[in-house]
A and B are shown apart, each in its own frame.
Chain A
């Protein structure tokens, strides 16, 4: 048997899950899809006295809801569920695009969206996507419920503002306006691998083709999703013309300070970030033109 010994808890309701975490939180780990946690346990990179398996807290937490003003993704929504949802593709295409690049279907079948966010791997796609979608993270414990925006949720490598007795109950985003266009671009050495860098971008564009709002975040180049505020400022108020794209590329390169590792040097990663920003903006321009054709 690969993992070390632990006590297994399988709460049958949210209240029971929160009560279990209240008792054992300091020595416990939440088990959602297990696609990040199980490899760590199998390799004994981590050991926990208690595992709190949240998979049976209730089927109502396994479906996204598409409300008039907000889209909500509770803790048991599998990545594949959203990836294959026509409604999600229509409303949040950037999420669909990014999900297709998260590992392989066999992993996404079990991996949850909230699990990926709670895991907060800097190279993961979803934290950046939810950052540009202006997400609100709803966090529950037996002490109550609180809400935090993305900037306050992601703190560092594999570190979020979740306390040991807390669950990420759901993540929700405002329903995007009709004039919002988005794109996700990444580069990975092999399909399904973590990206060397990734970029999520959303732009709101007025009737004259001028960008009125823009949010861009990069993955894999900093300990948390990295908002490229200089690029956002450059793009906002401009139209996505031929001269803007190289400027955005240069601004993106200048605004990241990645670390190098065996997969890619720091210099390569910052150049890549620039290229990916340019690709994402070109993609957005293409989508915009397609709606006007």
Chain B
């Protein structure tokens, strides 16, 4: 999306756009069709397939990533809109092969079964815990409410959020 002003107003549907963005600290550049969503861009162009797609209309939360610090549905954003953005995806949570405290809490508390919803939950909760700590079960359920899991009972998810927020040690 560079030099757009000079091109105005003669764009066509066949035009492609170059998107440059930073994902998990690494810079990427790719050519995209304007109708490519950010979710498809991450999965298909950058081969970062940790971000999952369930509903593609903003309801399930599986595709949640962090865009410029804010948890965002990547199915509801166009790749071209991410030009210049700082993105964080589930691939960026572990450091040097060590799971993040939240990932460890998920593992410890059986907060995942099939794991399809897990990347979205991890990114939503990561963003929420940066904003404020979560000390009650009610708050934890609120933080989790924007994501849908079809195979766990949410109890493990609630426990994980509370433990990660309290900063419990990863090994237990």
**Which residue numbers of A lie inside 8 Å of B, CB to CB?**
1-12, 16, 19-20, 23-24, 31, 34-35, 38-39, 41-43, 49, 51, 53, 55, 80, 103-107, 109-110, 190-192
CB neighbours of A11 from chain B (8 A): 4, 8
CB 8 Å contact bits of B43-81 with A (1 = contact, 0 = none): 000000000000011100100100000111101111011
- A34–B38 CA distance with the chains assembled, in angstroms: 12
- A20–B5 CA distance with the chains assembled, in angstroms: 11
Query: Would B58 and A39 count as touching, CB distance under 8 A?
Result: yes
Query: Would A5 and B13 count as touching, CB distance under 8 A?
Result: yes
Tell me the residues in window 106-127 of chain B with beta carbons closer than 8 Å to chain A beta carbons: 124, 127
A38 in contact with B76 given A10-B4, A80-B70, A106-B64 (CB within 8 Å): yes
Query: Would B35 and A1 count as touching, CB distance under 8 A?
Result: yes
User: B37 at interface (Cβ–Cβ under 8 A)?
Assistant: yes
User: B97 at interface (Cβ–Cβ under 8 A)?
Assistant: no
CB neighbours of B34 from chain A (8 A): 6-8, 51
Other-chain contact of B35, A6, A10, A191 (Cβ < 8 Å): A6
CB neighbours of A1 from chain B (8 A): 33, 35-37, 40
A8 in contact with B70 given A104-B146, A105-B146, A107-B58 (CB within 8 Å): no
What is the minimal beta-carbon distance from B68 to any residue of chain A, in angstroms? 10
CB neighbours of B1 from chain A (8 A): 10
Tell me the residues in window 1-55 of chain B with beta carbons closer than 8 Å to chain A beta carbons: 1, 4-5, 8-9, 11-13, 15, 17, 33-37, 40
Find the residue from A51, A106, A107, A192 having the highest chain B CB count within 10 A: A106
Closest 4 interchain pairs by CB? A104-B146, A8-B34, A39-B57, A109-B70
What is the minimal beta-carbon distance from A186 to any residue of chain B, in angstroms? 15
Query: Would B12 and A7 count as touching, CB distance under 8 A?
Result: yes
The chain B residue with its CB closest to the CB of A107 is: B58
What is the minimal beta-carbon distance from B50 to any residue of chain A, in angstroms? 17
CB neighbours of A191 from chain B (8 A): 142, 145
- A162–B149 CA distance with the chains assembled, in angstroms: 39
What is the minimal beta-carbon distance from A159 to any residue of chain B, in angstroms? 22
The chain A residue with its CB closest to the CB of B75 is: A42
CB neighbours of A6 from chain B (8 A): 13, 34-35
A35 in contact with B11 given A12-B5, A106-B124, A106-B146 (CB within 8 Å): no
- A203–B81 CA distance with the chains assembled, in angstroms: 42
What is the minimal beta-carbon distance from A259 to any residue of chain B, in angstroms? 23
* Total cross-chain contacts (CB, 8 A): 117
- A133–B37 CA distance with the chains assembled, in angstroms: 37
Query: Would B72 and A110 count as touching, CB distance under 8 A?
Result: yes
A34 in contact with B77 given A8-B11, A16-B5 (CB within 8 Å): yes
Query: Would A7 and B72 count as touching, CB distance under 8 A?
Result: no
Find the residue from A2, A6, A43 having the highest chain B CB count within 10 A: A2
- A34–B5 CA distance with the chains assembled, in angstroms: 22
User: B170 at interface (Cβ–Cβ under 8 A)?
Assistant: no
Additional A-B contacts beyond A19-B8, A42-B75, A49-B13 (10; CB < 8 A):
A2-B37, A8-B35, A9-B8, A20-B8, A24-B9, A31-B78, A39-B58, A53-B80, A106-B124, A110-B72
What is the minimal beta-carbon distance from A284 to any residue of chain B, in angstroms? 25
The chain B residue with its CB closest to the CB of A8 is: B34
CB neighbours of A53 from chain B (8 A): 78, 80-81
Query: Would B80 and A110 count as touching, CB distance under 8 A?
Result: no
The chain A residue with its CB closest to the CB of B17 is: A8
Question: Could you name 28 residue pairs across A and B whose Cβ atoms are closer than 8 Å?
Answer: A1-B33, A1-B36, A1-B37, A2-B35, A6-B13, A7-B11, A7-B34, A8-B15, A8-B34, A8-B80, A19-B9, A23-B9, A38-B37, A38-B75, A39-B56, A42-B57, A42-B76, A43-B56, A49-B13, A51-B34, A53-B78, A104-B61, A106-B61, A106-B71, A106-B124, A107-B146, A110-B73, A192-B146
